[in-house]
Amino acid sequence: MWTQSLLLLSVAAAALAASATEPKIVGGFPAEQGDTLHQVSIRFRVLDEKGFGRGHICGGSLINNRTVLTAAHCAVDLENGLRFPASTFRVVGGSVERMRMTENTVVVGVDKVFVHAGFDTVTIANDIALMILSAPIPDGHPTLQPIERVTSQPAVATSCQTSGWGTTKFDQNASPSSLLAVNVTVQSTTECNSAGSYNGHLVPGMFCAGQTDKDACQGDSGGPLVCDGKLAGIVSHGRGCGWEGYPGIYSDVAYYRDWIETCLAGGCSGAGGMVISWGLLVSLLLVLIYREQ
């Protein structure tokens, strides 16, 4: 089942691994603040309030001063398909540091979450969501700024960059304290859909990028893929991390342009509030309390 190979394998694992400081993202390097002004950390609010940085579950990209673009699976309990309420989350940006606040760190709540109505927890199709912030990011903020989006899918062989606070090895739970980045190459969808790779799994709205030992990994989900300075993809899922023959799979930002614009204009439903997965949140809190005893 594809959900077993999601980059965000377990929100519990991601949220409870916050004390480790070793480098992450497969084959990566320390990210430059100036190259990642759009990058944010999406966190479980209650866990993050217990210890700053401990609530990180996903990445995201600021696309205007009140909106973050991320993956749908970051906002949904994959075990039952229910959306988490907006109040579950908070967004942190303005710094490459995950575990400590700097003078430029911004912490803001989430007012609404829009998950694509066609998101499929089995096939991971339509893995895209928007988070509307409870307060705008100030214009001219020195280290947190919106990123422009592409209008077409990047061409095969385009060199792009993805970034995040995810792990450097599949099934490794520890998360880094500083943002890492890695350069990856866009691959042919035909090749990625071949029998020796994903065997037809990629559908419209997905494309693949990466190469052996260079990839996003658990905890990078929802984060950006930037090509020629513009947001082209959203870290979605894949088989392993940096495995030969299995590049990372990204949601195609250009493909969802109309959906994004419709939501930004107020035409989306599904803000999350009727369908609440409190059970998982309670479980996470109990585990956290137990660990601190």
The single residue of 48, 77, 127, 220 carrying the catalytic annotation is: 127
List, for residues 112-171, the tens digit of each pLDDT value.
999 999 999 999 999 999 999 999 999 999 999 999 999 999 999 999 999 999 865 555
pLDDT at 173 (0 to 100): 60
16-to-92, 177, 179, 263, 289 alpha-carbon distances in Å: 17, 13, 18, 32, 11
Residue 201: name the closest of 162, 233, 161, 248 by CA: 248
pTM of the entire predicted model: 0.85
Token digits of residue 52: 């700053």
Please give the order of strands across the beta sheet that includes 224-227: 29-30, 180-185, 159-164, 224-227, 230-237, 248-252, 206-209
73 labelled catalytic: yes
The single residue of 95, 163, 221, 236 carrying the catalytic annotation is: 221
Domains and CATH numbers, the chain: 2-7+19-292 (2.40.10.10)
List, for residues 37-63, the tens digit of each pLDDT value.
999 999 999 999 999 999 999 999 999
19 labelled catalytic: no
Helix (H, G, I), strand (E, B) or coil at 167: coil
d(CA 149, CA 77): 28
127 labelled catalytic: yes
